């Protein structure tokens, strides 16, 4: 096995370098993953621009450290493993198995871990591709040839037949459990997300598009997608949106909310008089990976799921990858660090 691995590293805001790291020896219960694909997420774009505060206003608030190896939407192959290590569901893992992983590493013992089911609100939260300074703990992000999986990380075996270009966005699909939550709000017409209910999606980047996919899988009626990218609205159509609206020319378009963009004006009277429900959710359940992959497998012939990844780049073209991801003419942009080696 190779003794070193190359990895795209954000050394400071707006500065990417391809650095080489020594692969550390396998830890007890450890696992080494050869990366097939690793996505560029909106979070990574913020980090690249130096907007590094995540989970602001909560006990999980943290600042991404530099130098950083990003990459938390990962699919790859087990390259080395401690015998007996199993995946999240207890399935045995072997060298050569295709896996994906949950980037959120939790302690399982803090108040939040013990009171909030499945979601990673751990007070000691650490995020792959987000929390680990590469100079101290290397190869803890997916924009790399190899990634180190610590025993606390949740690993999921990819089912046979699910290609990497689908498995790579399992984490994003797991983020759509907001829709499952919406289903649980009573089966009265005006309350929860009933079958045939209309769904409006504001912004059909990768996260929005996955919500569209999931809404369609779950029995939505009319789906309306809004964005300012014609490229993305066209994809929304292809994935089942009934109506698309380009809001690029409207004067009141709202910006993203995962990152703290400050206050917006809002009329609380309308929330009350219309009996609205605003349900905040910035995360996804650990339990959502298996079902998400199963559903992708089930729907891969009914929806163009393999068009979701629109651009692949080798690690050497990190800047071009980032520039593409920062634009509006893409859906999911990924690195394929070992594509040549794998002859794919």
Interface positions, 230-289, toward its own copies (CB under 8 A):
254, 257-283, 286-287
* Half-sphere exposure at residue 139, Cβ-oriented, CA atoms within 13 angstroms: 22
Among 114, 238, 320, 344, binds its own copies (CB under 8 A): 114
Cβ closest to its own copies, residue 243 vs residue 311: 243
When asked if residue 161 is in the footprint of its own copies (CB under 8 A), the reply is no
**Phi, psi dihedrals of residue 217, rounded to the nearest 5°:** -65, -30
Cβ closest to its own copies, residue 94 vs residue 114: 114
| Tokens found for residue 232 | 């993305």
Whose CA is closest to 162, among 35, 285, 38, 305?
Answer: 305
The interface mask with its own copies, positions 198-217, x = CB under 8 A, is ----------------x--x
Q: For residue 287, what are the contacts with CB-CB under 8 A and spacing of at least 6?
A: 118
The least CB distance from residue 136 to its own copies, in Å, is: 25
Cβ closest to its own copies, residue 214 vs residue 332: 214
Q: Which helix (H) or strand (E) holds 12?
A: strand 4-12
User: Distance (Å, rounded) from C-alpha 89 to C-alpha 288?
Assistant: 11
When asked if residue 119 is in the footprint of its own copies (CB under 8 A), the reply is yes
Cβ closest to its own copies, residue 24 vs residue 118: 118
Among 19, 295, 300, 312, binds its own copies (CB under 8 A): 295
Among 13, 50, 56, 159, binds its own copies (CB under 8 A): 56
Q: Which residues in 122-151 contact its own copies (CB under 8 A)? A: none
Cβ closest to its own copies, residue 23 vs residue 31: 31
User: Distance (Å, rounded) from C-alpha 263 to C-alpha 242?
Assistant: 32
User: Distance (Å, rounded) from C-alpha 70 to C-alpha 47?
Assistant: 9
Among 1, 3, 25, 57, binds its own copies (CB under 8 A): 57
The interface mask with its own copies, positions 162-181, x = CB under 8 A, is ---------------x-xxx
Q: Which residues in 66-85 contact its own copies (CB under 8 A)? A: none
When asked if residue 302 is in the footprint of its own copies (CB under 8 A), the reply is yes
Cβ closest to its own copies, residue 279 vs residue 340: 279
Cβ closest to its own copies, residue 23 vs residue 215: 215
- DSSP for 2-64, written as a single string: -SEEEEEEEEETTEEEEEEEEPPPPPTT-EEEEEEEEEPPHHHHHHHTT--EESTTSTT-EE-
Q: Is the peptide bond before 30 cis (omega within 30 degrees of 0)?
A: no
Binding residue count for its own copies, defined by CB under 8 A: 77
User: Distance (Å, rounded) from C-alpha 9 to C-alpha 17?
Assistant: 5
Burial 96-119 (b: 16+ CB within 10 A, else e): ebbbbbbbbbbeeebebbeeeeeb
| Span of 13-21, 163-171, 186-194, 331-339 interacting with its own copies by CB under 8 A | 186-194
C-alpha to C-alpha distances, 269 to 160, 272, 274, 276, nearest whole angstrom: 52, 5, 8, 10
* Half-sphere exposure at residue 284, Cβ-oriented, CA atoms within 13 angstroms: 24
When asked if residue 185 is in the footprint of its own copies (CB under 8 A), the reply is yes
When asked if residue 92 is in the footprint of its own copies (CB under 8 A), the reply is no
| Span of 74-82, 131-139, 295-303, 321-329 interacting with its own copies by CB under 8 A | 295-303
| Span of 96-104, 107-115, 201-209, 321-329 interacting with its own copies by CB under 8 A | 107-115
């Amino acid at each position: 096995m190779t003794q070193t691995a190359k990895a795209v590293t954000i050394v400071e805001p707006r500065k990417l370098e391809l650095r080489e790291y020594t692969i550390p020896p396998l830890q007890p219960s450890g696992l080494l993953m050869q990366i097939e694909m690793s996505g560029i997420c909106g979070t990574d774009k913020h980090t690249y621009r130096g907007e590094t505060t995540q989970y602001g206003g909560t006990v999980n608030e943290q600042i991404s450290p530099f130098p950083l190896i990003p990459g938390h939407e990962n699919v790859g192959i087990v390259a080395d493993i401690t015998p007996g290590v199993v995946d999240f569901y207890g399935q045995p893992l072997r060298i050569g198995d295709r896996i994906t992983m949950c980037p959120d590493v939790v302690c399982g013992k803090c108040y939040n871990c013990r009171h909030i089911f499945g979601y990673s609100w751990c007070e000691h939260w650490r995020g792959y591709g987000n929390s680990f300074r590469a100079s101290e703990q290397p190869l803890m992000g997916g924009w790399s040839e190899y990634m180190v999986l610590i025993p606390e990380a949740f690993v999921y075996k990819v089912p046979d037949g699910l290609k990497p270009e689908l498995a790579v966005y399992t984490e994003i699909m797991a983020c759509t459990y907001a829709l499952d939550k919406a289903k649980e709000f009573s089966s009265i017409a005006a309350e929860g997300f009933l079958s045939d209910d209309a769904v409006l999606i504001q912004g059909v980047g990768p996260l929005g598009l996955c919500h569209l996919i999931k809404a369609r899988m779950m029995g939505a009626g009319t789906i309306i997608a809004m964005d300012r990218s014609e490229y993305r609205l066209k994809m929304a159509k292809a994935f089942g949106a009934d109506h698309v609206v380009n809001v690029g020319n409207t004067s009141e378009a709202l910006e993203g909310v995962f990152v703290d963009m400050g206050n917006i004006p809002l009329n609380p009277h309308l929330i009350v008089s219309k009996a609205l429900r605003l349900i905040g959710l910035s995360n996804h359940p650990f339990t959502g990976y298996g079902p998400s992959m199963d559903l992708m497998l089930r729907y891969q012939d009914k929806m163009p799921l393999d068009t979701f990844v629109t651009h692949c780049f080798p690690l050497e073209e990190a800047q071009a990858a980032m520039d593409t991801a920062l634009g509006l003419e893409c859906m999911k942009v990924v690195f394929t660090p070992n594509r040549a080696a794998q002859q794919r």
